[in-house]
Structure formats: C-alpha cells, structure tokens
Chains A and B, each alone.
Chain A
Amino acid sequence: MFAYIVRRLALMLVTLIGISIIIFVLLRVVPGNIVDILFDAAGFVDPTDKANLEKELGLNLPIYQQYLNWIGGLLHGDLGYSYVSEKPALQEILPRIPITARLAALALLFSASIGIPLGVLSAVHQGSRLDYALRVVSLSGLSLPSFWLGLLILMASVSLFGSMPIYNPNPKTWTEALAIYAVPAMAVGFRSAALTMRITRSSMLEILRQDYIRTARAKGASEASVNYRHALKNAILPVITVIGIEAAFLIGGLIVTETVFNIPGVARFLVEALRWRDYPIVQNLVMLIAVVVVVANFTVDMLYAAIDPRIRYGD
C-alpha cells in the first residue's frame, strides 16, 4: 500500500509536468500576446517601444527559456507578476481561491446530498410516478447549461422577491453569506446532482437484485437498513467516480456561473486574464486546477479501497 501511494505520487508529478508543458505551449500558440493587444488598442506602433516592452516582460526569450524561467520560479514559490496589474501573481490569485473553493465545495455537497438520496429513492420505487418525476428532473438537470440556469434563477428571484443576492466580500450574517454562495452553487451543482442521481439510481438497481439484499431482508432488517446500510454501500463506488470527475468539470461550470453572479473568484479571473494574455496568471491558475483534478482522482482511488475491502492496491 505504501509503495503504491509513493508510486502514485510520483506519477502525479509526471502528469503535472506534462500538463505544465501543454499549458505553456498552447498559450503561446494562441495568436497575439499582451504587447500586441496593448499596441493594437493604441493604434500607432513604434517597433522599438514594442521590442522594449517584450524584452521587459521576457517575451523575447526563446520559448524553452521562458518555460524554464516559469518552472524555476514555481519551485521557489515565485509565480511572476501579473502583466495587467503588475502585482505579484500569487497576491492576485490567493485571495480569490477561498471564494471559488467555497462555491465548489457547496456545489459538490449539494450534488451529493441531493443526488444520492434521490437516486436511492428513485431506484427503490422503480417504475413509480416518483421515479418518473425524478428522472425527468434529472434529465432537465443534464440538459440545462449552468449559465442559463443561473440567469433563470436571478430573473426568478428578482421577479419574486424584487431583489437578488449580490456578492458582498464581507457578509454581515451567515445567512447572507449562505445566500451569496448557495444560489450560484446550486446553479452549478444542479447538473452534478442530476448526474449523481442517475448513476446512484442505476447502480442501486443493479445492487438491489443481488442475493445479499435478500439475505438482509431475511434477517429482518428494515427497508431503510436494507437500502442504505446494505445496498448503498455497495452501490456507491460508481457514484464516487462520477463525483470525482464532476469536481474537475465544476471549474468549467464555475467560469460562467461566477461571471453571471458577478463573483470575483478564480474561475472568472481566469477568463479575464486570458483575454489579456496575462500569461503568468493563466499558467499558474490552470496549473492550480490541474493539481486539484489530479488530487481529486487520487482521493477517489483511495476512497475505493476504504469502502470496498475487495479493492486493495498491492505492489
């Protein structure tokens, strides 16, 4: 087990190095850097000014040199300076992380706490009206893009309550804080909740047919105990896989949701930085997302072994 974890960690490092190269190259393949964009806006271009600025930002160096500078800096905890604000990138990114982390955590919590029980309910009452209703709702969850759902929620809250929760960096009460985060989290988590529900349902249907479920009933266990204690624990593995994948997808959903709800999180910041070709910000943010995804995958695999005794990672 220990050797396995060490090997996995080494593999994670290799993956991250690969990702860093891909991010770096892709960014520079996109036509135009920040200097082009600035000078385009100015209209008149003096080639020496342009060259000076590129030199100042280090954009005149060969691409591998630029890459090594970035990675070298990363290893020292130096993420470079934002081209736009000219502040250290770390200073720009760090305060935004908790905002997005709260949103993402709430969204995942929402999708798991709604999706799993409803999936169980749907499976247990297979073929009933409740089952059909839940499946229709989940289908809508899969087909509604989160930004549109976000807009709908905003419009609905304005027309119903005359106002909408607006982001406030220093909420006074915890209810206000919850309102600020919960609504966008639900908008972005609805899709995951729907997917989680569907996977839970199909996995549960498979498990409920197993012999050991009949054994549990023959022992005199209650329906709740049969469904949750016996069946769900066996049915949960595919659900965890999906939630793990959804954790990665969530970032994509958050980009639009943060924009719609005007929340100054990491995801919206990434899009802004991309518009300016603010390389240090984009590179480091995408790296951060990559780390989150890789860690989520690792956590899912570890959870597998924790839940199912038949899964053991040998050497």
Chain B
Amino acid sequence: MSEARKDDTILEVKNLQTVFFTNSGLFRAVDNVSFSVRRGETLAIVGESGCGKSVTALSVMRLVPDPPGRVVGGTVTLEGTDLLSLEEAEMRQIRGNRISMIFQEPMTSLNPVMRIGDQITEVLRLHQEMTSKEAWTKAVEMLRLVRIPEPDRRAQEYPHQLSGGMRQRAMIAMALACRPALLIADEPTTALDVTIQAQILALIVDLQKRLGTGLILITHDLGVVAQTAQRVIVMYAGKKVEEATVEDLFENPKHPYTRGLMASMPAVISFGAKTDARLNEIPGMVPSLTNLPPGCAFAPRCRLAIDRCRAEYPPLQEVDVNHLAACWRATELVGAP
C-alpha cells in the first residue's frame, strides 16, 4: 500500500490484464487488477470460483496457458524486475526460485512416476549449484522442515505412497526449497480433510514467518483469511472490488459482495444467529465473463443496486483509510448493518 516502504515491497502488480480467447468470444479473466506484497506479509485473494483468483496467480508466474490465455496489460515487478518483459528462459530462472507456487490438488500435483526426493532435488538443481548428493541431503532436510516423519524413507517413496496431507507437505517443501521471496498458495487446503487443513495452514504460516517469505494466499474460505492474512483483496468477475486490512475488512466490509460472502459463512454462530436459521446466500450466479453487464458486474445480484450501478462501473476508490472499494454506495454503507 501507499505508505509501504519501497524496499520492503517484493511484488508489485499494476493494472494486470489477462484475457482468454475462446469460441464464445474474448473474456477478461483478470481486469485491471493491482496489488502488492511486502516481505513476510500475507495477502489473501478471496472470491468465488471463476472470479479470476487463480488466473491472477498464474499470470504472475507467467503460466497462463497460451493459447487460449494471454497477459495483455499491466506490469508485474518482483524485487525490481519486470517479469512480463523477461525472456522465457529468464523467467524460468525466477520460477521455483524467487516465486514458488503450491496448488490446490496435492493428489495430482506431484509427478506419479518420480520419487518425492527426486522431485525436490530437481528444483534445487535447476536453480542452485549443487551435486546430486548435496541436493538429496537438502531435499531430506526440507522434508524434515515441513514435519514429515521419517524424511529419509519418505524421500525414497513415490507420491501414491503418501497421504493427501503428506503430499501437500512435500509440495510445500518443494516450493520453499530455494527460499523464494514470494510463495503463491492457490487454495492449498481446499482438497484436504478439515483436520489436516488447519495443520497445513499453520505450517505454511509458520515457515513463511521463519523464512520471511511473502505469501499470496488464494482462497474462498474467509475463515482461512481471518486466521492467516494481514491484507485481503476481494475479487469479483475478474476485477478487484475491495481491498483492506484483514481487521478492517471483517469489521467493516464496504462492498455488498464482501458482505454477502461474510453473511454466507456458516461459522458465524458467535454473532448470535439462531442455530436453526437458514444460511444467507448471495442470490443469482456469477455472470458469464463473455457477457458482462455494462455497469457493476455484481449489480444483478445486489439488493442495494441503484440505476447508476447498472449503467456505470464504479471506480475503485479509497472509502476509508487504506480501504479501497469499487461500489457507488460504499460510503453510504459505512456503519450500516
């Protein structure tokens, strides 16, 4: 954010635009999204499926499948380097080394015919001058760091011999092996058992603190956000609709969509809701990105929408200190229930 010291910022994304060319037309999966991440900070990106969270992450990694997708605008600056202007070979030096990514599906994200140890060794040998023996020792050390019991034996095993939680730990070990400046975790706990989710999340946050890594946590789970993040951006239909510190966002959400997300959280019994009460839901569906309404994309589902919302897209503006929202009625809603 604005008051952040420049040297502390590791990732600066400005006006990022990623489009997909499909048979049913062009759609903007990421539309003019800006954000930054500081060293050791956790930024959460929240939104429903298909809102552009994952594409944003893949755009930063420059891993958007092309065709059909392409980053068409904006800048992505990592530690002073503009990633979007790098040659592919130079970008490969960055991936896995300065930025790493953990994916949603630990069951399918590891190569089934390679040993766990070899998969971690690979990333080390790609980016660091190491003999295969040194790399293997380091790989085992990484497995120990992510608290996999018997790391020596596990390194020799294949992914199918590990449980889902173990595999995600191995993914984390792989992602952090080169001590990246930035870790992107794309729904890292969604595919796991509830009991394992908390462990994995705690592990990521703990290692992030110890290693001073910046973390982008992509999730649709606001509970996860509250536990881990310092700052949150909320995305809807490819656009950033709200950005605030985590305390601010939970206490005082400005965008009706954010309010809707919070109201539809099942774990808000402490707010005094009746336990047999029906969960709140946001009516309607996420609009098709190929056929967006002219005004605010959320207007068709918004109870507070006025004519202006349907006609003009609201600009992202500072509605409070360090609190951005893209809603015509955001300022009126301050303090409203």
Contact = CB atoms under 8 A, between A and B. Distances in A.
B112 A212 contact: yes
Interface string A189-224: 000000000000000000000111011111111100
Contact of B93 (A217, A220, A230): A220
Interface in B98-115: 100-101, 103, 105, 108-114
Interface string A141-180: 0000000000000000000000000000000000000000
Interface in B74-121: 92-97, 100-101, 103, 105, 108-114
B160 interface: yes
A218 B63 contact: yes
Contacts of A214: 63, 103, 109
A222 B122 CA distance: 11
Contact of B110 (A212, A217, A233, A307): A212
Interface in A215-246: 215-222, 230, 233-234
B174 interface: yes
A221 B158 contact: no
Contacts of A210: 108
Interface of B: 61, 63, 92-97, 100-101, 103, 105, 108-114, 122-123, 126-127, 158, 160, 171, 174
A221 B124 CA distance: 11
Contact of A219 (B108, B112, B123, B158): B123
Contacts of A76: none
Contact of B95 (A217, A307, A308, A310): A217
Contacts of B112: 212, 234, 308-310
Main SS at interface, chain A: helix
15 contacts: A211-B105, A216-B111, A217-B63, A217-B95, A218-B61, A218-B95, A218-B100, A218-B103, A219-B95, A219-B123, A219-B126, A222-B92, A230-B114, A308-B112, A309-B113
Given A211-B103, A310-B158, A219 B174 contact: yes
Contacts of A221: 92, 96, 122, 126
Nearest to B91: A220
B111 A230 contact: yes
Contacts of B103: 211, 214-215, 218
Contacts of A218: 61, 63, 95-96, 100-101, 103
Contacts of A309: 112-113, 158, 160
A214 B171 CA distance: 13
Contacts of B174: 215, 219
Contacts of A233: 113-114
A230 B110 CA distance: 10
Given A214-B63, A221-B126, A234 B111 contact: yes
- Residue among B109, B110, B174 with the highest chain A CB neighbour number at 10 A: B109
Contacts of B101: 218
Nearest to B58: A214
Given A220-B94, A220-B95, A212 B111 contact: yes
- Residue among B92, B111, B114 with the highest chain A CB neighbour number at 10 A: B111
A220 B126 contact: yes
A222 B126 CA distance: 9
A207 B92 CA distance: 21
